[in-house]
Structure 1
Amino acid sequence: MSMSNGTSHKNPVRVLLWSLPRSLSTVLLKCLSQLGETQIINEPYITAYHMGPDRVQSTDQKKAKQSAENLAMFLEAARKMEAALPKSFDHRKCTYNWVKTELEAEYSNTKLVFCKDMAYSVHDKYNSIPDGYRHTFLIRHPHRVFLSWKKMLGKMIPQKFNLHELPASDFPAKYGFEELYDLVEYMRNNGEPDPIIIDADDLQNQPGSILSQYLQDVGVTSDNIEDLLQWEPGTAVVTNWKASRMFMLGNMTKDHGGFYEAAMKSTKFNPTGDLPTRDELSDDILKCVDHSMPFYEKLHAMRIKP
């Protein structure tokens, strides 16, 4: 699908989408991969946070050792993905400074550089945020986010756990929404007073309206927004993504989380189902919800409306 933005290839439009897990960010990335002359960059900061040399280490020495052993075990499998993912990179060089440099690099023959990442990965590291990007944000109702997040983490953590008690190496210290809100406020005070915020429920229920407004706001004009609303199932789209091989391996492998499984099977934005009620949420999820709801509501009030 063609796309025009009125800029030269030497100065592409650069957009960063900040979100938190289980917010349809990968589905949106798959959708936008259909834009022509676009370089997709997938979660380099969260790779640095969880896997790179600057990663957040568990204070539990036994757990930290096990984590290091797991990374080493998957290294060979990730190396085998190199041919299938020619633009991918090795997580071992993924420091915060390296990510910033990569995002600020020149991208020839490209009209749009689009990166999506998780806001909690740069909390207290705002000096690593790249120059030259328009910063945008994706939110989703906390009931949906935390219910799904715990389910996915449960595939990787064998023992019973409380979501709000997980260490920062596994789960953000402020549960994700507060970090996202803090980043929005930082941007509002540093050159972007009018944040561009999408709510995932709006995106699912009225994708044409939301996508049209979003692309216009970031300076991208699509020939036909309807052409973006359908895509092929499967993983072929990731071939041109710039991402960590190790991170893609974990997210696309069902036995190790499979965070991207539903996104890769998707072919469109499906309408939302019923919102889970408080009675359907465990006590630990409710603790995360109750902490996060005030931040979500403030962000929701600033969102793009259908």
Structure 2
Amino acid sequence: MKKVVDYRGVLLFLLLSFSGAWLVSLPLWISQKGLLHPFTGLVLLVMMAVPALAVLVVYMLNGGTEKTRLLGLGLGSKGWWRYWVFGWFIVPLFAIFAPFMSSAFGLYTLDVQDFSGFKELLASGKGGVDPDTVPVRLLVFGQLFSIFLSPVLNAVFVFGEEIGWRGYLLPRLLPLGQWPALLISGIVWGLWHSPVVLLGYNYPQHPVYGVFFMMILCVIFGVLFGWTRLATGSIWPAVIAHGALNGSAGVMYLFSKAGTTFDTAHAGITGWTGWILPVLWILILLVTRRLPVSDPPDERLLSFYSLQGPL
């Protein structure tokens, strides 16, 4: 039986996810304080839970006909641990090396000797630590170490997104083919951030064009996260990778030189110079024929259940 996309379920999921994101972020817009609103952190956390709530509603409206195995809540197929290693260690390294890539293109000024930019940030009181009482190099080491703890610390928050994007949406787009499914789900993921990106989130210098940059960022990492999902049949490697990526966001401030600025659209993991290494990883997957994934567990499940009925 031919597999088809359950467009009704997918469109309902997208409607709920996007409208929910805008609804949650509405206080930031109404107050005219934007990201300076005192509840911005809470808004972002609740917003991350919206895709999971959308999946739950779709399940409820389908009268329990949804197949939970398609959400990828298990550990996954044999060899799943390799993809956990990728998410836990390789993804943070993309972010850690991003400032050096940006510096190579002259778009970021490094200071890895005195860490003067980080020291300046701490002196302003934004870091919560007095640089005169604790050696700055020790603080930098602590920050780098904490990045590798972030997959665990952030897992509960990014789970809400991942069960939506890689748990629900990606498998249900597979009848279109792996590449269309990966690219479309990545574009959707990026556009979903629009309510806060338009306020300057991630791209404060480019609040409007930032939506486009965010979309590219999410397509690149959506392909990588989706690769782990398709290869294992589990969302957990993607949860780990997503948590690591979010936890690496501030690494640019560790290595910067005091008195300098940088454009996040060009420098760091959010900028095009920071995308070079993850794109190279994707190219390696293509050359080694690990992408598209051959005989992914999700496609076997789709064949078993058939998408003729509502999912």
Tell whether the structures are fold-level matches, with TM greater than 0.5.
Answer: no
Structure with the largest fraction of helix: 2
Task: Say which one has the larger Rg.
Answer: 2
